[in-house]
């Protein structure tokens, strides 16, 4: 069965968030929570929160093309390339609470390599948005597939969600692991197993892909 592409990313080049508007909303939120935004401890909070949200969602205004900036080059190397333990922070789009952890990325080149530092930068583009972990996992994998046209791409995301830890079921140690496997990583069991072994996981711990 043909797989459908993940929902398209919000178009790059979106204008920066309107800080004054966010500040006003936060001020109103504080009032609705029963607080006085004029008191000393909260006087500057609306502006700080607005600036914080602008930073945490700056991925909307970033372009993958600009980040890669010609850092894709021809090379005959054809063994697995892995960049693992990439730290990330994102915001769950359901509760606007953080989720964070590590991203592990691998690809099997087919005549094209990408500068290693660009892979964490690509992770940042998609993590600094209002996100679902599952969607972010797919977006990172499909982005690298589109850029490099390799023999395969694998992405595993291991994260802790504060909407699970701080509210609701309140399980502080629960972690969510998602994966997206394309090409050889999906079709070849040994290739997939090698990648999971090298990042310290087993097939039983991954989901998706």
pLDDT digits (tens, 9 = 90+) for 119-175: 999 999 999 999 999 999 999 999 999 999 999 999 999 999 999 888 888 787 899
Q: Please say whether the beta carbons of 148 and 118 come within 8 A.
A: no
Tell me the C-alpha to C-alpha distance, in Å, between residue 167 and each of 97, 118, 127, 161, 172.
10, 35, 22, 10, 10
Q: Please say whether the beta carbons of 166 and 97 come within 8 A.
A: yes
Q: Please say whether the beta carbons of 83 and 115 come within 8 A.
A: no
**What are the structural domains, with CATH classification, of the chain?**
19-56 (no CATH), 71-205 (3.30.1130.10)
Q: What is the pLDDT of residue 10?
A: 42
pLDDT digits (tens, 9 = 90+) for 1-54: 344 444 444 445 455 678 999 999 999 999 999 999 999 999 999 999 999 999
* Spatial CA neighbour of 59 closest among 93, 30, 28: 93
Could you tell me the two tokens for 126? Answer: 């998609």
CA 17 to chain centre: 20
Q: Which of 51, 95, 145, 149 is catalytic?
A: 95
Among this protein's residues, is 12 annotated catalytic?
no
Angle at 139 between CA 136 and CA 143, to 5 degrees: 145
Tell me the C-alpha to C-alpha distance, in Å, between residue 103 and each of 12, 54, 85, 204.
22, 23, 6, 17
Q: Which of 65, 66, 75, 94 is catalytic?
A: 94
Q: Which of 133, 139, 143, 180 is catalytic?
A: 133
pTM over the 0.85 mark = yes
Among this protein's residues, is 143 annotated catalytic?
no
* Spatial CA neighbour of 161 closest among 60, 90, 103, 85: 90
Among this protein's residues, is 173 annotated catalytic?
no
Q: Which of 62, 143, 161, 180 is catalytic?
A: 161
Q: What is the pLDDT of residue 2?
A: 42
Using the predicted structure, report yes or no on whether residue 82 has a pLDDT greater than 70. yes
As a whole number of angstroms, the distance between CA 160 and CA 101 comes to: 6
Question: In sequence order, what are the residues at sequence separation of 6 or more whose Cβ sits closer than 8 angstroms to the Cβ of residue 44?
Answer: none
Q: Which of 92, 139, 143, 180 is catalytic?
A: 92
Q: Please say whether the beta carbons of 153 and 144 come within 8 A.
A: yes
């Amino acid at each position: 069965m043909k797989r459908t592409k993940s929902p398209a990313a919000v178009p790059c080049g979106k204008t920066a968030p309107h800080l004054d508007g966010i500040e006003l909303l936060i001020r109103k939120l504080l009032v609705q929570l029963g607080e006085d935004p004029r008191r000393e401890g909260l006087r500057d909070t609306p502006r700080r929160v607005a600036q914080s949200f602008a930073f945490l969602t700056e991925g909307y205004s970033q372009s993958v093309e600009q980040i890669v900036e010609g850092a894709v080059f021809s090379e005959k190397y054809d063994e697995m390339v892995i960049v693992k333990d990439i730290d990330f922070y994102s915001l769950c789009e359901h509760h606007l609470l953080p989720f964070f952890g590590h991203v592990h990325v691998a690809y099997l080149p087919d005549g094209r390599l990408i500068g290693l530092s660009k892979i964490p930068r690509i992770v940042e583009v998609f993590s600094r948005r209002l996100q679902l972990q599952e969607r972010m996992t797919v977006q990172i994998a499909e982005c690298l597939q589109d850029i490099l046209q390799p023999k395969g791409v694998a992405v595993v995301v291991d994260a802790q969600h504060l909407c699970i830890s701080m509210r609701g079921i309140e399980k502080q140690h629960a972690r969510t692991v998602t994966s997206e496997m394309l090409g050889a990583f999906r079709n070849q069991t040994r290739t997939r197993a090698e990648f999971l072994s090298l990042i310290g996981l087993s097939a039983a711990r991954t989901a998706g892909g």
